[in-house]
Amino acid sequence: MATNSVLNQGLAPQFVAAEALRTLVPVLQPIKEIAVTDFSSYVDRIGSTVHTRLASPLTANTYDPSTGFVAQSAVSSDIAVTLSAQTYIDIGFSDIEQGSISAEMLRRTFLMPMTEAVAKSMFDNLLGLCTAGNFSNVGYSGATSGFTRAGGVVPVNQKLTSLNIPYNGRTALIAPDAYAQLLTDPTIAQYLSIGDNSVIREGQASEDANGYLGKIHGIKFWEYAGFANLGTYPELAGIASAKQGLVIATRVAPQIVTGGGTQETITDTDSGFSLALRQYYDWVGGKMHLNVNFIQGSAVGNPNGLARIVFTS
């Protein structure tokens, strides 16, 4: 007897996996810029501990013929990250929906919000660590209106230098009010209009990198809308670092071996971030389910490796 597949082209596993990865890569970029990432496709379980290391600063010495080259000890700090949460998003499609959904609707209506939610869960865990108790250094503290190129960006850059944070890779993640304040600064607007004026035209410096403002005084600025308690002062309006202050680790959850359905591991080859894409049909509920999930944990790295941006009014 002939049978019909419950999957149409729009929900074919290979297609969904490819489209999910394509929409995931841009939203991961700010996380890769601001934090030390230990992403892997290895399978692990909640409660496991992942160890990564941060190197301690080294100093350059002057050669003395009487002593020769004096070695410095290679010192690094062990950062233990507990995989504390299995994060998931599960979407159920009715028979009518899954039978008629187009590839474009799948991408626009479901996959893009799904990948945004994945990134938000990671941002929220990292920003939850950015308290005064964990990171006492403040690059800017003052009124929202004062966060300009001269009044805000320059002090942040100066603070990072005073903390011996490397020039290469300096990155700031800022709230929408801070982002808007920089866009209204005429000196920044003039700078952004020179050459490729995509920030003025598109609202960001690259179509392939969500919320990227550009580099100002050596710092890459990214916008993120998920800062908590926006408009409630004092407000954490941003963080600046060079992949030293925060650490995040992710692993793939174990594959389900009973109950039917499929599981594929989707991996961003650049960062190594991986998640499990599961598809299964609920015969009782009459729905085709798309489920993405991964295990994550975050930790404080170098307490002097990050400066907070605080708005007081």
What are the sequence ranges of the domains in the chain? Answer: 1-49+77-313
CA distance 269 to 229: 35
Of residues 127 and 290, more confidence is placed in: 127
- Under the banding of pLDDT at 50, 70 and 90, the label for residue 201 is very low
With beta carbons less than 8 A apart as the criterion, state whether 254 and 86 touch: no
pLDDT at 4: 38
- What is residue 235's predicted lDDT score, i.e. its pLDDT? 94
Task: Give, in order, the Cα–Cα distances in Å from 35 to each of 125, 224, 248, 291.
Answer: 12, 14, 7, 26
Question: What's the fold here for domain 1-49+77-313?
Answer: phage-related protein like fold (3.90.1690)
Q: Round the average pLDDT of the chain to a whole number and report it.
A: 83
- Tell me what pLDDT residue 194 has: 58
Residues 24-68: tens digit of each pLDDT: 778 888 998 999 999 999 989 889 998 887 766 666 777 888 888
Please check the confidence at residue 115 and state whether its pLDDT lies above 50: yes
Compute, in degrees rounded to 10, the torsion defined by CA atoms 89, 90, 96, 101: 30
Q: How high is the pLDDT of residue 309? A: 97
Residue 297 pLDDT exceeds 90: yes
pLDDT of the residue at 95: 82
Query: What is the pLDDT, as a whole number, of residue 207?
Result: 43
pLDDT at position 34 is 92
Which has more confidence, 70 or 49?
49
CA dist., res. 6 & res. 4, Å (int): 6
Parallel/antiparallel/unpaired status of strands 76-82 and 49-55: antiparallel
Res 200: pLDDT: 43
pLDDT 10s digits, 224-264: 988 988 888 999 999 999 999 999 999 998 877 777 788 88
The pLDDT of residue 192 is: 67
Residues 245, 2: Cα–Cα separation, whole Å? 59
